[in-house]
Amino acid sequence: MNEGGQRAGAPFRSAGSARGDQVSRSVRLNILVPQGTTENSPAIHRWVQGWMTNESRRDDRKHVFSVVPNGTCAALRDKPSVETLGYYLPSLRDYAKRAPSDAGGSGKAIRRFVSAVTDRVRPVFCLACFLPALLALYSLPASATTSPTNLVVATGDQSVVLHWDPVSDSGLSGYKVYRSTTSAGGPFTLLTSTVVTPLGYCDLSAFAVNGHTNFYYVTAVANSVESAPSVIVPAIPQAFANNNAFLSYVQQTCFDYFWYYANPANGLVPDRTASGSACSIAAVGFGLTAIGIAIDHGWVSRSAGAARVLTTLNTFLQGPQGTNTSGMIGYNGWFYHFLTMSGAVRAGSTIELSSIDTCLLLGGVMYAKQYFNQTNATENAIRSAADTLFNRVNWSWMARNSSGVAMAWYPETGFSTGNWIGYDEGMIIYILGLGTATNPLPASSWNYWTSGYVWETNYGQSYVAYPSLFTYEYSHCWIDFRHTADAYMTARNMSYFINSRRAALAQVNYSIANPNNWPGYGSNIWGLTASDGPNGYTVHGLPPDGNDDGTIAPTAAGGATPFTPEYSVPALLYMYSQARLHIWTAFSFRDAFNLKKGWYDTDELGIDQGPIIIMIENYLTQKPWKLFMQNPEVQRGLTRAGFVSLPTVALTAQLQPAQNSVNLIWNAQTGAVYQVEYSPDLQTWFIPQTGYVTASGSTASWTDTGPPGTLDPPFNEAQRYYRVFRFGSP
């Protein structure tokens, strides 16, 4: 039913267009419905649409129906013939027999309505001529279930992903998804044996054939009454044209987690897709960043994204803070790790006031402050709220006026015994805490943090070690460490970016070596990180310090994409291609799988999907890094921690067209380490696999010969730019 007044016959919504567009299906049989009269109730609209949908399912002549508002018989482009009317009128009478269940008990009124329609129709007139008068005579007081709106589709290799906006009817039990493999007119087959509660569905069946068009619609079920269908959308699965097309599909479905699982009333994002999950404030931080990425890709409008972000920030800005053991969102500007999804307060007596999760939330907050830079009421309010949230955090209190920041605080028992020290995900805590202008951490805090570092060599890589890969990714989602180094890294001729690359490479090498002979391990199946497993949640990691029971989490490789694109992208693509029936959903990859145990997780997690979408974007465009690093608080924090920018060197480029290569030469210091980068446009820069050069004399060189070192041969692009950075002390 097109109750909004849009002309029937509008084109289908194309895959990937922004949410919020309204469309209608094309027209074969038009039923004219007047608007603006009290008798023209939504119940009649929905019931008539229900009959037409039922007819489209049984009609082997593939007719498609819609309601045309405010028209006349002469305006109809496709009037039904006498034969068509004769074909449909018995069906209309038959459908009326089920009126009590289809219209909430108003069967008598519906049957009178149908009887009048079928009795008054004459062969020389179309049905639309009589419906206005009949609607004025008969009305149906009962309300039917509201149909889902804004059905959108994305497609990948042998898969179709659908999403839709929530229906707010009381008594809603879920949704049903239908597919036709032949035409928009049907016949349609129910795909869901039971109602689904998520606002998404992924068709991975044998009917999701590349190059073949399927048609889908969704209905809502409330109080055992099924709604009329949503709009019908076509979907054509396609093999991925290239790696970037695959990465875009992964990113879009990751974003869908944050958009469709969030509570739109307060912006809170659940920790996981399991029913009843509490909100993870870290997932909220990742989600705030995902919204900006989605706007850039056209998956959501800027106005809708900004509205959701402002709603989210206001939830944290206005939530109650205090020492009460319940009913609080946080204390002293910090927030509880898990919040109730509806009330936005502490989700239980065991939940800690978390310093790291607050800072991961602030990562998204400070990104949003820079992203939403337009001058309008909503975006002005976003920037103001972001400043207030950041500046009211009491860093001195969480550090207990010392150099080390506590991991947690409980209103019942006080501070936890442990501080953040040594390499792990807590790096962002100290950068933000050192950078605040209100009550910064002491300058000694960074030395305190690095004093716990452990330097190890594992599987051919030397780096500051921690077993689990997420620790090398979370802070890096926002902080760009490619061209800066502190005293610790300067002394080792490297950066924290290279440190993360080496940690990821060690995991790749470990999976290739596969000392425990786990099934599947290799260059395309790797990634040990904190995740679910066959025996519950475990912090999986690289031995000897970490636990490896054969469980792989796709987010580990996905979150390492900027560090190891040559391994991360093929790994994600391989996991998708080989195991999508088990681990791919409408919300991207599931958390983890274990081939030895034949175990596949049933949940997707916000702290999985966040690093995947953000780090892929950092690899492709670097925009999250660029925006976050514009915050003066971040620059001040890096400066107070002793970070200095890496110097660049002057280059000489020797073009070698016959070899389709470019040779770079520069003056060097013996033993110094250099990082080569290239760009097609001076905006997006890539580090080649072979782009780390240790000088053996007074000059150094590097040759761009194309893949696998770079994505394409240099002369395949209209232009290519190069730059080289030097690590270590002058």
Alpha-carbon distance of 417 to 415, in angstroms, equals 6
Domain residue ranges of the chain, discontinuous segments joined by +: 29-137, 152-239, 245-624, 646-726
Same CATH fold assignment for domains 152-239 and 646-726: yes
Tokens of 268: 């809170």
Tokens of 78: 């496709």
3-state secondary structure string across 634-654: HHHHHHHCCCEECCECCCEEE
Alpha-carbon distance of 156 to 204, in angstroms, equals 10
CATH architecture of 152-239: Sandwich (2.60)
For residue range 252-261, what is the model confidence (pLDDT) as tens digits?
999 999 999 9
pLDDT value, residue 53: 56
Q: Which residues are bridge partners to 702 per DSSP?
A: 664
- Inter-axis angle of helices 355-371 and 377-391, nearest 10: 150
Question: Where are the alpha helices (H) located in 346-409, listed in sequence order?
Answer: 355-371, 377-391, 395-398
For residue range 489-508, what is the model confidence (pLDDT) as tens digits?
999 999 999 999 999 999 99
Q: Residues near 668 by Cβ (< 8 Å), separated by ≥ 6? A: 649, 674, 695, 697, 698, 699, 700
Alpha-carbon distance of 184 to 597, in angstroms, equals 43
Closest among 406, 464, 407, 398 to 436, alpha carbons compared = 398
The whole model's pTM is what?
0.83
**HSE of 311, CA atoms in CB hemisphere, 13 A:** 18
**H and E: helices and strands count for the chain:** 20, 34
pLDDT value, residue 50: 59
pLDDT value, residue 406: 98
CATH number for the domain whose boundaries are 245-624:
1.50.10.140
For residue range 664-690, what is the model confidence (pLDDT) as tens digits?
999 999 999 999 999 999 999 999 999
Which residues of the chain fall short of a pLDDT of 70? 1-143, 730
What's the chain's average pLDDT? Answer: 86
pLDDT value, residue 103: 40
pLDDT value, residue 718: 84
Fold adopted by 646-726: Immunoglobulin-like (2.60.40)
CA distances for 658 relative to 652, 662, 708, 722, angstroms: 19, 10, 19, 20
pLDDT value, residue 692: 95
